Chain A
Amino acid sequence: MKPPRFADKLILWLCHGSLADEILGDLYEEYQKNISQNGKIRAKVQYWFAALRFINTRTLKRKNYLNNNAMLKNYIIIAFRNIVRQKVYSVINIGGLAIGIACSVLLGLYILNELSYDQFHENAPQILKASMEYEIDGDIAEVSSTPTALLPSMQDKFPEVKNGVRLFYPSMFKPLVVSYGSKAFQEKGFCYADSTFFKIFSFTLTEGNKSTVLDNPYNIVLTKSSKEKYFGDEPAMNKTLIVEGKPYKITGIMDDAPANSSIQFDFIASFSSFWNKEPIWYSANYFTYIEMHQLYDTDVLSSKIQTELRNAGMSDPENGQYFGIAFTPLLDIHLYSDVDEGGGDIKNLYVFGSIALLILLIAIINYTNLTIARSFYRAKEVGLRKTLGAYRNSVFSQIIGESFVTVFIAMLLSMLLLYFMLPLFTAVSGSHLEMSFLLRPEVFWSLIAMFFLISILAGAYPAMKMAGFNPVDILKGKYQGSGQGAFLRKSLIVVQFFISLSLIIATVVIYKQLSFINNKTLGYSKDNVLVIPVSKGIMAKSAEFKNLVLKDDNINAVAIVGETPPNIQGGYTIELAGDNSVSVVAVAVDESFIETAQMTLVAGRSINVADIKRTREAKEYSFIINESAAKMLGWQASEAIGQAIKLNGRKGQVQGVVKDFHFRALYEEVSPLVLFTEQTWAYNYLMVNINGQNVPAAIDAVEAGWQTIDEATPFSFNFLDQEFSNLHVSTNKSGKLISAFSVLAILIASLGLFGIVSFSMVQRAKEIGVRKVLGASVANVLILANKEFLLLIILSFILAIPSTYWLMGEWLSNFAYHVNIGVLPMVLGLFTTLLIATFTISFESLKAALMNPVETLRNE
């Protein structure tokens, strides 16, 4: 009666020699007794249980009688000796791995940071942000701002809503002037919020009472850094700040909003300070956040509201008058929301995540490749160990142990690299990453896991291969110079260069698009134009200011406008005959706008001073439309002149048609635009066209003029081209980051190539010697060496063409205006890679080619 076979195998596998014998013998005796007492089936089950109970630490510790410690010590010594002896290979392996690990840890931290946005709010999962949807010409437009009436009516109708807060950033139109004593600044981060702000969001209030700080009108909470800006080390509580001429009492001080908060501000003032009327529906400049009692399906909530809106007659989808409210969970705002500007993008995380893994892969391949290539050097060592009684297992663990040692050193080195890379990365990407992130438990354990994973991935194949060496063959000398694993090695090189080539091509395409953006004829001049937020004081005396400033030779033209070109957002409607209307973008301008921005008129004339006077005195408006608008309205440029149109109730005549210009980022197509004259309140910015030869003098002149007219308001300005490139900042960032990582990728891949070539040259030393004796020149040898590897690179190139063409095509389609990929990036990518590879190969093979054949052949 045989006991269960697998149970026996298990014990034999776990325990060595005599120990397994003792255990199995005892089990067998017990088994025989159990069969007679309990029958065969129960006996078998009992046998299994009894066998399994032997799997405990006490038994396993007695696994074998070899002196493990001494052997382990020997393995480590051999590993270190190998690292020290093979300096070049070690530098390549450790260096490559360190760079690869540093890159992937860096990008991993970046991804983690992006994912952490808004997580610090205690009730984050229950907080939703409302956005507004409305129908224009059959399209649904979505904006993130909402009316003031939304929150009160939701709290009224829906018991599911626990709490809510409205935010208003007056500075989204133009900066506010804030002053304390003699200190005055234009502030862009000014926010009004309902008194529930600190109950819903978990920002840290360091002074003041969380539940009452924003209860009264003209209460204000300062962040730590704005407190320091105005008060330094002095206490600020209960002091008074002047905001746009009105006194605000400081009721609280808080820590700065964390960098990973989607809500950013420098000041929070009570909502009631500027809004004490009944809430209304028809003006929507406010952000509404609501907190639900529990997790809530956003779709259900918006359809409930839709029903209410329909009942109230505010939404009428059947007649093309759809109006709705949608919700985005707070935690999704940063990565998934399209309507909020300046957020991250989940796509970027995928892109950078893949890049991190690919670079790491290149480094791992280096290690695997070089270790396999060199394995024949160590064949004798393995042969000898095996002859002296080493098991397959022990050879395996020795070789993989070396990979653990190498990866460990590489990891330490990568932490050092990371220390230097972090500030650079932060400067380019704008995400605030710190070394201390590494100590977070989830990061720390990931690093440990990464250590094991890389060590095993890199070392497993060579270890398996070497453990399988047959000692008899080795000691006979059969392994020498064999092409062990040549196919695998070559395939891995192709993979490496496929990755690096793709990254280089992507970089070139991105830079092509960037230079296209920067050099595109925009239809207006973005160079040497200052953009200055206008103050009330200047607005009141605008003509005087203009005359004063224009006296300076360095100032060419000054205009006052509602919004400035790279980002004109204002949505208006032109009412047509019948009940029809079309939506357009429109902006208030003055008589100097066309001249200041150096635009071209296709027909008619620019607005003049008389037009503006008529608007202010007789409400007769004047318009300039762009070509697209003329086309949409069905007019030739010349026909448009003198046509009467009505823009949101403003009646007037078209005076001119301006050539289409890019008034928004190049992601968007040029749409119909109207420039119109307006009452004074609609003007927010000064545009000053200055002499590019003497920029500092021009700025001084504008500032001097400003001080003369409005001494109370601080002067601040920006360059128009700067604002333009800010709009394309994410493209700029990705361009810089991807180019940096592609440089690193090609560096690691070249390191690997260098190692493989030098190995191959040593291996082929005799062949080269014979060739030289038979009359081969140095050039012949170089060609021989290059041919083998350059073919591999051309193969990777062929593989890289379709994938990068498709990927970069996808990326370019984000832009309404973009370049064609063309041949240049491909050719440039191939050329760069070939150049680097040829240099690497030739550098190493030249040594072999120049060697005197006697050296290599004399042993034969």
Chain B
Amino acid sequence: MSKGDFLGELDELVLLTTAVLHDEGAYGYSVVTEIEEKTGRKVSLSAVHTVLYRLQDRGLVQSELGGASNSRGGRRKRLFYVSQLGKQAIAKVKHQRDKYWQEIGDLSFGLDLVVI
């Protein structure tokens, strides 16, 4: 696996959120609120924006211009969808993490997992 395929922590989070929001429509603000809801973490709009475009450049997400709405002051939004490549990437990350967890489970050194 070359370095270029590596997903940064925030990249991964945004990519997962985009996947979660597939039906409602993932765009800058919705991703920010979703992340805050799920993790309690405050992320700035511009940071998410940058990540979304970076993911698009890497082909992990695709986008199209959505319609305007009054709740946005009459501005249009760009909706992002996880691409085939993006799905593979999330799956790969999950697979890698799972391998670690299996080993931790095997060792069973009394680690109490606290889910935050």
The residue on A at minimum CB distance from B79 is: A22
Question: B45 to A26, Cβ gap below 8 A?
Answer: yes
- Other contacts beyond A18-B78, A22-B78: 18, CB < 8 A: A18-B65, A21-B76, A21-B77, A22-B49, A22-B75, A23-B49, A25-B28, A26-B28, A26-B45, A28-B71, A28-B73, A30-B32, A50-B44, A50-B45, A50-B46, A54-B49, A56-B46, A58-B50
Question: B76 to A26, Cβ gap below 8 A?
Answer: no
Question: A59 to B50, Cβ gap below 8 A?
Answer: yes
Q: Is A62 an interface residue (CB 8 A)?
A: yes
Give the dominant DSSP class at B's interface: helix
Question: A62 contacts which of B44, B53, B68 (Cβ < 8 Å)?
Answer: B53
Interface size, chain B (Cβ < 8 Å):
22
Question: B50 to A25, Cβ gap below 8 A?
Answer: no
The residue on A at minimum CB distance from B46 is: A53
What A residues does B45 contact at CB under 8 A?
23, 26-27, 30, 50, 53-54
Q: In the complex, which residues 70-88 of chain B have their Cβ closer than 8 Å to any Cβ of chain A? A: 71-73, 75-78
A424 to B4, CA, bound (A): 60
A23 to B54, CA, bound (A): 16
Question: B44 to A53, Cβ gap below 8 A?
Answer: yes
Question: B50 to A26, Cβ gap below 8 A?
Answer: no
Interface size, chain A (Cβ < 8 Å):
21
- A residues at B contact (CB < 8 Å): 3, 18, 21-30, 32-33, 50, 53-54, 56, 58-59, 62
What A residues does B76 contact at CB under 8 A?
18, 21-22, 25
Q: In the complex, which residues 27-83 of chain B have their Cβ closer than 8 Å to any Cβ of chain A? A: 27-29, 32-33, 44-47, 49-50, 53-54, 65, 68, 71-73, 75-78
Question: B75 contacts which of A28, A53, A62 (Cβ < 8 Å)?
Answer: A28
The residue on B at minimum CB distance from A49 is: B44
Q: In the complex, how many angstroms separate the beta carbon of A648 from the nearest chain B beta carbon?
A: 88
The residue on B at minimum CB distance from A52 is: B46
Given contacts A18-B65, A30-B29, A58-B54, contact A25 B72 (CB under 8 A): yes
What B residues does A58 contact at CB under 8 A?
50, 53-54
23 A–B contacts from the bound complex (CB under 8 Å): A18-B65, A21-B77, A22-B28, A22-B49, A22-B76, A22-B77, A23-B49, A24-B73, A25-B77, A26-B27, A26-B29, A26-B77, A29-B71, A30-B29, A30-B32, A50-B45, A53-B46, A54-B46, A56-B46, A56-B50, A58-B50, A58-B54, A59-B50
A22 to B49, CA, bound (A): 10
Question: A59 to B49, Cβ gap below 8 A?
Answer: yes
Question: B75 to A25, Cβ gap below 8 A?
Answer: yes
Q: In the complex, how many angstroms separate the beta carbon of B89 from the nearest chain A beta carbon?
A: 20
What B residues does A28 contact at CB under 8 A?
71-73, 75
Q: In the complex, how many angstroms separate the beta carbon of A484 from the nearest chain B beta carbon?
A: 43
What B residues does A29 contact at CB under 8 A?
29, 71-72
The residue on A at minimum CB distance from B65 is: A18
The 3 A-B pairs with the shortest beta carbon distances in the complex, nearest first, are A25-B75, A26-B28, A25-B72
The residue on A at minimum CB distance from B44 is: A53
Q: In the complex, how many angstroms separate the beta carbon of B77 from the nearest chain A beta carbon?
A: 5
A40 to B2, CA, bound (A): 48
Q: In the complex, how many angstroms separate the beta carbon of A11 from the nearest chain B beta carbon?
A: 11
The residue on B at minimum CB distance from A55 is: B46
What B residues does A18 contact at CB under 8 A?
65, 76, 78
The residue on B at minimum CB distance from A62 is: B53
- B residues at A contact (CB < 8 Å): 27-29, 32-33, 44-47, 49-50, 53-54, 65, 68, 71-73, 75-78
Question: A22 to B27, Cβ gap below 8 A?
Answer: yes
A75 to B52, CA, bound (A): 34
What B residues does A33 contact at CB under 8 A?
33
Q: In the complex, how many angstroms separate the beta carbon of A292 from the nearest chain B beta carbon?
A: 56
Which of A25, A28, A32, A56 has most B Cβ within 10 Å? A25
A27 to B44, CA, bound (A): 10
Question: A59 contacts which of B46, B68, B72, B75 (Cβ < 8 Å)?
Answer: B46
A54 to B47, CA, bound (A): 8
Q: In the complex, how many angstroms separate the beta carbon of B95 from the nearest chain A beta carbon?
A: 30
A590 to B47, CA, bound (A): 96
A3 to B72, CA, bound (A): 11
A22 to B27, CA, bound (A): 9
Q: In the complex, how many angstroms separate the beta carbon of B48 from the nearest chain A beta carbon?
A: 9
Q: In the complex, how many angstroms separate the beta carbon of A53 from the nearest chain B beta carbon?
A: 4
Q: In the complex, how many angstroms separate the beta carbon of A533 from the nearest chain B beta carbon?
A: 81
A54 to B77, CA, bound (A): 16
The residue on A at minimum CB distance from B73 is: A28
Q: In the complex, how many angstroms separate the beta carbon of A567 from the nearest chain B beta carbon?
A: 77
A32 to B27, CA, bound (A): 16
What A residues does B71 contact at CB under 8 A?
28-29, 32
The residue on A at minimum CB distance from B52 is: A22
A367 to B46, CA, bound (A): 45
The residue on B at minimum CB distance from A20 is: B75
A492 to B29, CA, bound (A): 57
A561 to B47, CA, bound (A): 90
Q: In the complex, how many angstroms separate the beta carbon of A37 from the nearest chain B beta carbon?
A: 12
A18 to B77, CA, bound (A): 8
The residue on A at minimum CB distance from B72 is: A25
What A residues does B73 contact at CB under 8 A?
3, 24-25, 28
Which of A18, A58, A59 has most B Cβ within 10 Å? A58
What A residues does B27 contact at CB under 8 A?
22, 26
What B residues does A56 contact at CB under 8 A?
46, 50
A488 to B66, CA, bound (A): 52
A21 to B29, CA, bound (A): 13
Which of B27, B72, B73 has most A Cβ within 10 Å? B73
What A residues does B72 contact at CB under 8 A?
25-26, 28-29
What B residues does A3 contact at CB under 8 A?
73
The residue on A at minimum CB distance from B77 is: A25
Q: In the complex, how many angstroms separate the beta carbon of B46 from the nearest chain A beta carbon?
A: 4
Given contacts A3-B73, A53-B44, A58-B54, contact A26 B65 (CB under 8 A): no
What B residues does A25 contact at CB under 8 A?
28-29, 68, 72-73, 75-77
What B residues does A24 contact at CB under 8 A?
73, 75
A27 to B29, CA, bound (A): 8
Q: In the complex, how many angstroms separate the beta carbon of A508 from the nearest chain B beta carbon?
A: 67
A28 to B44, CA, bound (A): 14
Q: In the complex, how many angstroms separate the beta carbon of A32 from the nearest chain B beta carbon?
A: 7
A3 to B73, CA, bound (A): 9
Q: In the complex, how many angstroms separate the beta carbon of A342 from the nearest chain B beta carbon?
A: 65
Q: In the complex, how many angstroms separate the beta carbon of B7 from the nearest chain A beta carbon?
A: 17
What A residues does B50 contact at CB under 8 A?
56, 58-59
A26 to B50, CA, bound (A): 13
A33 to B78, CA, bound (A): 20
Q: In the complex, how many angstroms separate the beta carbon of A30 from the nearest chain B beta carbon?
A: 6
Question: B44 to A26, Cβ gap below 8 A?
Answer: no
The residue on A at minimum CB distance from B78 is: A22
A58 to B45, CA, bound (A): 13
Q: In the complex, how many angstroms separate the beta carbon of B79 from the nearest chain A beta carbon?
A: 10
Question: B49 to A21, Cβ gap below 8 A?
Answer: no
Q: In the complex, how many angstroms separate the beta carbon of A332 from the nearest chain B beta carbon?
A: 55
A33 to B44, CA, bound (A): 14
A575 to B34, CA, bound (A): 106
What B residues does A22 contact at CB under 8 A?
27-28, 49, 75-78
What A residues does B65 contact at CB under 8 A?
18
What B residues does A62 contact at CB under 8 A?
53
Q: In the complex, how many angstroms separate the beta carbon of A551 from the nearest chain B beta carbon?
A: 100
A59 to B65, CA, bound (A): 17
What B residues does A21 contact at CB under 8 A?
68, 75-77
A50 to B44, CA, bound (A): 7
What A residues does B28 contact at CB under 8 A?
22-23, 25-26
